[in-house]
Amino acid sequence: MSDPSSRPSVRAGVLAWYRREQRAFPWRGLDDPFAVLVSEVMLQQTQAVRVAERFPAFMAQFPTAEALATAAPAAVLVAWSGLGYNRRAVTLQRAAAEVAANGWPRHVDGLAALPGIGPYTARAVASLAFGVPVGVVDTNVRRWLLRRFSVADRAAPLQQLADDLAAGGRGAEIPAWTHASMEFGAAICTARAPRCGACPISRGCPSRGRAAMVAVPRQAPFPGSDRAYRGAILRRLSAAPGHRRAIDAVKATAASMSEGALSEEGWQRILASLIRDGLVRRSGSELALGPMPPDGDGTDGQRGPYNRAMSLKVTIGDQLPSIGLRATDGYLLNLRSHVTRQPSILLFFGAPTLTGAARERGEAVARAIADGQARLAGAGVGAFGITCDSETQQTEYVAEAKLPLLLLSDERRSAVEALGVPTTRDGTNVNAEPTAIAVGVDGTILDIVERAEPRGLVARLLDAFRAPDADPAPGATVGAPA
């Protein structure tokens, strides 16, 4: 890392620039933790100018955590419609309910424990609302830190550098630095054409005039993706009287987007994902906006093929717990720390020591993930297999099946039990049913596929990753997916 003595001048230069050049947004200067949380969640993967148009109306409708917590879920989704990534509205309401019941945590760890809140958002709220002098590392901050300082492109050293730069703040300088550090990357040290001539800290910058692109995971194209279909369905329901429509009419909406090319399998997958994420529910022959009641089954009293209750102890938006595992090379690792190196897919399966149909099921899914590794790597996503077998059994299986997939041993079933992964019994052997979990770089669970099937699995999991990362960069330019 570069000389620490340069950090005070870098901090001073960025703050001075921000005081002169900051953009006016309706959330700037606010220290109400609820307003700060709403703005930060909205800014995940949505352009700041679009958030600026929607934030005041949302806050007028839901001015407090209590108001949001007690609102009808459909009303929250309607108010959110058009901002994209509608799961954020669901987890934001869950976080509001927890705050309404237990009060606001005032430190980073407590904030990060709220539903759907990752380390970045927790640090942003801590600094902006509670005056905690901690640094934030979003895509914009990461980019200019890497260019200006000789720091390793890993989460821990980047976060330490951001914290060191933030530590000098007192009083009003604490939230000012949080905003300034992000806006500097968005306005000056930009991704494609950094404005080195206008940079207030260019003196001594090793990247001046020759700044390289900073790689970020690429997002799959939006048109034709499940996210596009989901967004269209939710917009249709949001605009419908009573926020419900006949299932056949909703299905026709989805099919019209693809000129009739949406298969029955695709429709079932999209509908199941919307129900699982708490965005819609079946109501007789209709589809209604909003989740099932807390004691319901997703159908307003009618059971169907789309709403099987998940057995896992975790859900989308939760943080992956810390679990100790061992890799096939004997290396001990903490699963949560391991996945924070890059967005990751964790595939639980039991092929190595199961037999018959159970083995065939697990091996087919594992091979689908292995065959899709080039696509996953192209999106910056890692993949790991986890079975309840010893490293020796796993090594023998990988060699026998010629499976190019790194396996992690959960021989004591600590991960399976902590997460509630379904298992199957084969004699005295108890091993995992095929279950895939998509996890972002902040440890947030982005998607869960129980009893996974190989067809379409890689595409489904790739769709869960919200580039540039799981706790995304405020103001990122994207479409308006669901």
Question: By the 8 A CB rule, do 100 and 65 touch?
Answer: yes
Residues 6+ apart with CB under 8 A from 41: 88, 91, 92, 116, 121
Taking CA 157 as the corner, what is the angle to CA 182 and CA 13, rounded to the nearest 5 degrees? 40
Annotated catalytic residue within 21, 40, 360, 450: 40
Instruction: Examine the residue annotation and report whether 396 is marked as an active-site residue of this protein.
Output: no
166 φ, ψ (degrees, to nearest 5): -80, -25
Contact 349, 426 (CB under 8 A): no
Q: State yes or no: cis peptide before 343, omega within 30 of 0.
A: no
Residues 417, 459, 222, 47, CA torsion sign: positive
- Closest alpha carbon to 481 in 20, 39, 81: 81
Is residue 28 packed enough to be buried (19+ CB in 10 Å), middle (13-18) or exposed (0-12)? Answer: middle
CA distance 110 to 255: 44
SS3 labels along 130-177:
HCCCCCCCCHHHHHHHHHHCCCCCCHHHHHHHHHHHHCCCCCCHHHHH
Strand partners, 160: none
Among candidate residues 443, 440, 451, the one with its CA nearest the CA of residue 348: 451
DSSP assignment letter at 44:
B
Task: Tell me the CB-side half-sphere exposure of residue 362, using CA atoms within 13 A.
Answer: 25
Is residue 436 helix, strand or coil? strand
Give the list of residues 6+ apart from residue 344 with CB closer than 8 angstroms, or none: 338, 381, 382, 383, 384, 438, 439
- Cross-strand partners of 246: 286
Alpha helix (H) ranges present in 62-86? 65-69, 73-80
Helix, strand, coil percentages for the chain (3-state, nearest 5): 45, 10, 45
Q: How far apart are alpha carbons 166 and 474 in whole angstroms? A: 18
Active-site positions?
A: 40
